[in-house]
A and B are shown apart, each in its own frame.
Chain A
């Protein structure tokens, strides 16, 4: 029951991240969305191992640890690149509004 509860929560978290990634703009929301999606995946993996509370599968833990570390690496690179991008200047702003999107 516990495992099912967390599995459902995991899928909803993943979906929330998915929606936010597709809908929201700006680097912070994108990175947050990716991280929430990641948390969803990790929760799904850990919930899988929680089906057997007396015989925990350590492989999922290993995978999640690897995943967390890879996620922070990706987020760091994304933030790094985003801070290197110059802010759109006034003229860019105007051209963007003119473009039919």
Chain B
């Protein structure tokens, strides 16, 4: 039915039937959508009224890490799950000397400039998230991109199953739980930060999350790319 590499082709009559059915459905949904008036906009006022207590001035960060921090917490759990699932597929010999680029190649000199710049940019994105657009996910993605550049240029890759790597993968959740515990002692409510500290606590979580997100995304890339077999690009 669903095959990873399947090249089987459905009969064109089925394709036509599926396309027709979905088109009719789509028409119905669009018709219903255009009939419906705009929803009441209660959230804007609510966010504006409470943003003073959230500790940050960027409303999106306030939503992600304060008002609906529970969702973000679980999203970190999703990422954590993916990192556990991907770890066993990581080939330990992933960094063998089979790569296309040598240390003198043009890519390497580009990387030498790009990597520190990306790290700086990631740090800026993380820090700016509390009052302007930006935040942990964007910064984490930038960091992961940085790791990706390093891999492309054949810089060394460490074994990612060690204890320190594992603690980086779970760092976002650990810091989050620490913050939850600390706040609980003060406010006696799950996930309610003490108002005076909330800004720094949010930054604390985002800081950890950046590394976890970056490490997980990087791990995903490495495990998906797998090991480039010696001399294979010649054979292919």
A25: contacting residue among B3, B19, B60, B72, CB under 8 A: B3
Counting contact residues on chain A (CB < 8 A from B), the size range is: 35 or more
**Nearest-CB residue, chain A, relative to B68:** A62
Tell me the residues in window 1-31 of chain A with beta carbons closer than 8 Å to chain B beta carbons: 3-4, 7-8, 11-12, 14-15, 18-19, 22-23, 25-27, 30
Interface of A is mostly: helix
Asked if B235 is at the interface of the complex by the 8 Å CB criterion, the answer is: no
Q: Are B43 and A80 in contact (CB under 8 A)?
A: no
Residues of A contacting B10 in the complex (Cβ-Cβ under 8 angstroms)? 23, 25
A51: contacting residue among B6, B41, B59, B224, CB under 8 A: B41
Nearest CB of A to B198, in Å: 16
Per the CB 8 Å criterion, the residue count for chain B at the interface is 54
C-alpha spacing A30/B60, complex, angstroms: 31
Asked if A32 is at the interface of the complex by the 8 Å CB criterion, the answer is: no
Nearest CB of A to B74, in Å: 9
Q: Are B9 and A76 in contact (CB under 8 A)?
A: no
Residues of B contacting A101 in the complex (Cβ-Cβ under 8 angstroms)? 8
**Nearest-CB residue, chain A, relative to B72:** A66
Asked if B151 is at the interface of the complex by the 8 Å CB criterion, the answer is: no
Q: Are B47 and A23 in contact (CB under 8 A)?
A: no
Q: Are B71 and A62 in contact (CB under 8 A)?
A: yes
Interface of B is mostly: helix
C-alpha spacing A53/B159, complex, angstroms: 49
Residues of B contacting A48 in the complex (Cβ-Cβ under 8 angstroms)? 39
A57: contacting residue among B29, B44, B135, B224, CB under 8 A: B44
Residues of A contacting B67 in the complex (Cβ-Cβ under 8 angstroms)? 59
Tell me the residues in window 123-164 of chain B with beta carbons closer than 8 Å to chain A beta carbons: 135, 137
**Nearest-CB residue, chain A, relative to B39:** A48
Residues of B contacting A3 in the complex (Cβ-Cβ under 8 angstroms)? 38
Q: Are B38 and A11 in contact (CB under 8 A)?
A: no
C-alpha spacing A18/B26, complex, angstroms: 10
C-alpha spacing A66/B63, complex, angstroms: 11
Binding site for B on A (CB under 8 A): 3-4, 7-8, 11-12, 14-15, 18-19, 22-23, 25-27, 30, 48, 51-52, 55-59, 61-63, 65-66, 68-70, 72-73, 76-77, 79-85, 87-88, 96, 101
**7 A-B pairs with least C-beta separation:** A76-B220, A62-B63, A58-B59, A55-B44, A51-B38, A15-B26, A85-B4
Q: Apart from A19-B22, A22-B22, A58-B43, what 8 extra A-B contacts exist at CB < 8 Å? A: A27-B5, A63-B71, A68-B137, A69-B213, A70-B78, A79-B224, A85-B5, A88-B5
